[in-house]
Amino acid sequence: MTDSASSSSLSTMQKVLLLVSALVLAVSLFLVRNGGSIESPLDQLARRSLSPEVALSNGRPTILEFYADWCEVCREMAPAMLEVEQSHSADLDVVLVNIDNPRWLDLTDRYDVTGIPQLNLFSADGTMRGRSLGARTETELNSIANALIDGSPIPALTGVGSTSALPQTALADSTGPRSHS
């Protein structure tokens, strides 16, 4: 009976060691994948974001990204956006706005957010220069960032468009897409 008890005990100890090893491996892989940070790139960007009001009035060009935590494309694009934010931190603001936060409902309405990720692109004086809808690679994000910083034309990419100001009379006479008038 002693042999049976010790072999059962050994089996339990092996299971515990296997479980501990698996947990250590999982945590290690997570940390390596996220650059040593437990926070995801999307969470890092959101945490470090200025408020949109500050970013649009501080004299620096701004990329305003509308996103959601559940958005797979937003999460996939986040490492590239984080890299762009870090490499251009002295010249450009990257601001994340979570569309699920009721605090930002006025912004999602004002900028007609119809899909995510949506990037609204602003010059240093806070004027909207363009909009991008959908996933962007790091190369595309860098070319957009460089155009905003240099004041050069926004790159012609699929899903990216420039904007122009409407005369104030046209704004007063128009009905919105949700007015059903």
Which residue in the list 42, 64, 74, 96 is annotated as catalytic?
Answer: 74
CATH tag, 41-164: 3.40.30.10
State whether the Cα torsion 167-115-109-86 is positive or negative: negative
Which residue in the list 42, 55, 71, 119 is annotated as catalytic?
Answer: 71
Angle between helix 41-48 and 72-87 (nearest 10): 60
Q: Kindly state the helix (H) or strand (E) to which residue 106 belongs, with its residue range.
A: helix 105-110
Whether 74 is catalytic is yes
Whether 100 is catalytic is no
DSSP state of 58: T
Tens digit of each residue's pLDDT (9 = 90 or more) over 150-173: 999 998 877 665 554 444 444 444
CA distance 139 to 13: 50
Tens digit of each residue's pLDDT (9 = 90 or more) over 107-135: 999 999 989 999 999 999 999 999 999 99
Q: Could you tell me the residue ranges of all domains in the chain?
A: 8-37, 41-164
CA distance 58 to 63: 13
> What predicted TM-score, i.e. pTM, was given to this entire model?
0.67
Compute how many other C-beta atoms are within 10 angstroms of the C-beta atom of residue 101. Answer: 13
